[in-house]
Homo-oligomer: A and B are copies of this chain.
Amino acid sequence: MKEIGATPGKHPYGGEMYTLPVLRDPNTGAIITDSWDIVVYLDNTYPAKPVFPKDTKGLICAFGAAYMDQFWPATKFPLVRSREILTERSAEYYLTTRQQYFSQKVEEWSPEGPERDQHWSIFEKAFTAVKKWYDKTDGKWLMGNTFSYADILAASGLFWFKMVLHDDEWKRLAAWHDGRWEKLLADVESECKYCATIQ
């Protein structure tokens, strides 16, 4: 990132930290760090199909917070699973920083038994809340028939869970609410591929 002249993001505890994603746009030479800023840049530069339609940046940012708030109390469960797919070197850094942040050994994050059950129960409640938001409008997207960055945020969480959870765990989640979460993820992936072709 230093080599291409990308700016670092801010570390949550002060100072700078180089983070992915970073975008280098060959058409304009722009180099953008931070996923939100990248999306804002893309919306402004390639406005054929915006993902912040109709002045919804503030609402969608709040949606992202509401979505994270739902899963946050159970987040140590997917964090345990994330550790399992990392290379040894990454896992070492990951564990050092996260164990310090939580003041807890990884074995204590989401042990099987009552605590893991509790995390599952929080997950199920979280998806019930997200379903409630989706059910407020007609159409398959959060804004009815209008695709937006809110759907991408929702799918990003789902994509993370699908990537890191064990097969039987993902199947359990995917069975909730008539399979709508696996379907939402597939819909968003297919819409993003479609968007890429029309820009």
Query: Residues of A at under 8 Å CB distance from B?
Result: 53-63, 65-67, 69, 129, 132-137, 139, 142-146, 150
* A67 touches which of B55, B62, B132, B144 (Cβ 8 Å): B62
Q: Please name all residues of chain B whose beta carbon is closer than 8 Å to the beta carbon of A59 when the two chains form the complex.
A: 56, 59-60, 62-63, 133, 142-143, 150
Among B62, B137, B143, B145, the residue within 8 A (CB) of A66 is B62
**How far does the Cβ of A13 sit from chain B's closest Cβ, in whole Å?**
16
CB distance from A63 to the nearest CB of B (A): 4
6 additional A-B residue pairs with CB within 8 Å, beyond A57-B137, A59-B133, A61-B136: A54-B54, A55-B144, A56-B143, A58-B133, A58-B134, A69-B69
For residue A62, which residues in chain B have a CB less than 8 angstroms away from its CB? Answer: 59, 62-63, 66-67, 133, 142, 150
Complex contact A69–B65 (CB within 8 A):
yes
Residues of the B chain whose Cβ atoms lie less than 8 Å from the Cβ of A69: 65-66, 69
Q: List 28 A-B contacts (CB under 8 A).
A: A54-B54, A55-B137, A55-B144, A55-B145, A55-B146, A56-B59, A58-B136, A58-B137, A58-B142, A58-B144, A58-B150, A59-B59, A59-B60, A59-B63, A59-B143, A61-B132, A61-B133, A61-B136, A62-B62, A62-B63, A62-B66, A62-B67, A63-B63, A63-B66, A65-B129, A65-B133, A66-B69, A69-B69
